[in-house]
Amino acid sequence: MLDDKTVWVAHRYASGEPTDGGKMRVPTLKVKQANGQLRNMETNADKSKVLKDTFFLGPVMDVAQNEEPDYAYPKFKYEPITNAQIQ
């Protein structure tokens, strides 16, 4: 519903320049290189690689795995549940 105040807002929207429909865009990213210089990432491929490398770390390969896990001593002896207990 338009009234005497909102009609001018509607007019401004209707007569303004067309837009991209609200598409989201990632702005140009500035990334610090190993040598200390800044590099602009402008293509989608470059931006996605930078974001992936920043938020998703690679696997750690130097973690030693124990051959036998060290579990706590059981608090009680395990006994299977009987049909009588279920009924």
Q: What is the pLDDT of residues 57-81, one digit of tens each?
A: 888 776 666 677 778 888 888 899 9
* Buried/exposed 55-79: b ≥16 CB within 10 Å, e otherwise: eeeeeeeeeeeeeeeeeeeeeeeee
pTM of the model as a whole = 0.43
Q: Where are the beta strands (DSSP E) in 6-87?
A: 29-32, 38-41
Location of structure tokens 């001018």: 8
Q: What is the pLDDT of residues 21-37, one digit of tens each?
A: 666 778 889 999 889 99
Domain coordinates of the chain in residue numbers? 24-55
